[in-house]
Amino acid sequence: MSTSNCYMVSPGSTFTIPVDVKGDANGPLSSEYLTALGISDTSLSPSSVSLLWEDTDGLISNVSDIYNGKVNITLSSSSGNAVIAAYDTNGTTILWSWHIWVSDYNPDDGGMTYAYNNGTYTTTFMDRNLGATAVATAINSPLSSYGFYYQWGRKDPFPSAKATTLTRGTTSDSGSATMYGPKTSVTITSGAVSIVTATGNPTTFYVSSSDPNDWNSSPNNNLWGNPTTSIVNAKSPYDPCPVGWRVPVYKSGVSPWSGLSDSWSTWSSKVGYPPGSGYRHYSNGEFCGVGLLGSCWAAPRGFCLYFSSLSFHSSYELVPVYGYSVRCCRE
């Protein structure tokens, strides 16, 4: 079956996912590409899988034992998001984790298709941010339209300003979840680490105030695809988007949002309205700019769409340690 780091499912369902493979690692990935990503083995052999956190209490009612490399997940009738984690034999080290996006929204029923660079390229975007449970209609749209924040190159979702609590397993942590302050249920750690360490700590937001402002101790432009290898634009095993969707990519150096005007109505009709979800700051992980500005990541490293209530920048570069939104596009 097709695999990813995020699975979109309907409320009240029971579904099966493989937990013996890393993300989208059963696609056409060459050994050259995997080497560029620093991946030597795409298989996993976890001893257990369990709920790590959920943003709606009781969203996941059961995660089964592993059978033939798969687990069954049973959902409540609510919408929301959760992350399940696979552990090694000691039950404390996380090998990999997966985002479960529970919504009646089915992006395969349609999307926002945009032709750019004089019609040379066409991209179909989701109509909402990754993890959002509502569509934005203005920059100050409801918090439910924000989705999650991602550090560039990581597959792991971090709560945006919409989260007032974060439930890890059965333990609720209300923290000091003010809109502009630090979210204490996310661990804020200073300094760069390896991709293996970051993957094993999906609730740790790594911050840095020094050049190159990267959470990755070995900066890699290819973590979300678009590598300079034989398979250009292949979806990466670290990509956070669901099956059939991926982080937008620059094609021949051209932004996937290239050519859009500063008109909000133009953006809304062509690529979907982007909410002012703000971001988590690179130096301390605090929420900033909520309701005023935002950004959507792209590949390669650090490139994005950046916007505020006054202006748009369809080709912008930010340091990877920021936490910004993702608006997935069709593969």
256, pLDDT greater than 50: yes
Number of separate domains in the chain:
1
pLDDT in tens, 182-209: 333 678 889 999 999 999 999 899 999 8
* From 42-46, 59-63, 241-245, 309-313, the region with the lowest mean pLDDT: 309-313
Q: Residue 269 phi/psi, 5° resolution?
A: -80, -20
Q: Is residue 208 part of a domain?
A: yes
Alpha helices in the chain (DSSP H): 31-37, 195-199, 264-271
Instruction: Read off the DSSP letter of residue 310.
Output: S
Q: Is residue 1 part of a domain?
A: no
168, pLDDT greater than 80: no
Q: Is residue 26 part of a domain?
A: yes
**Mean pLDDT in the chain?**
82
12, pLDDT greater than 90: yes
Surface-to-core class of residue 295, CB atoms within 10 Å of its CB (0-12 exposed, 13-18 middle, 19+ buried): buried
pLDDT in tens, 198-253: 999 998 999 998 888 999 999 988 889 765 555 556 788 899 999 999 999 888 78
Higher pLDDT, 91 or 183: 91
165, pLDDT greater than 60: no
Q: Is residue 295 part of a domain?
A: yes
pLDDT in tens, 272-305: 788 888 888 888 887 788 778 888 999 888 888 8
Phi-psi region of 252 (alpha: psi -120 to 50; beta: other; left: phi over 0): left
C-alpha 149/C-alpha 206 separation (Å) is 13
- The pLDDT assigned to 216 comes to 95
320, pLDDT greater than 90: yes
- Predicted TM-score (pTM) of the model is 0.90
Q: Which tokens hold the place of 55?
A: 């943003």
Contact 71, 49 (CB under 8 A): yes
pLDDT in tens, 125-149: 998 999 998 888 877 777 888 899 9
C-alpha 27/C-alpha 329 separation (Å) is 17
C-alpha 186/C-alpha 184 separation (Å) is 5
Domain of residue 41 covers: 6-330
Cα→Cα distances 205→184, 249, 320, Å: 11, 24, 12
Contact 207, 188 (CB under 8 A): yes
Q: Is residue 34 part of a domain?
A: yes
Sign of CA dihedral 213, 214, 219, 220: negative
pLDDT band at 179 (very low <50, low <70, confident <90, very high): very low
Higher pLDDT, 290 or 72: 72
Residue keyed to tokens 């049973």: 74
Cβ neighbours of residue 151 closer than 8 Å, sequence gap 6 or more: 158, 205, 206, 215, 320, 321, 322, 323
How far does Cα 292 stand from its chain's mean position?
21
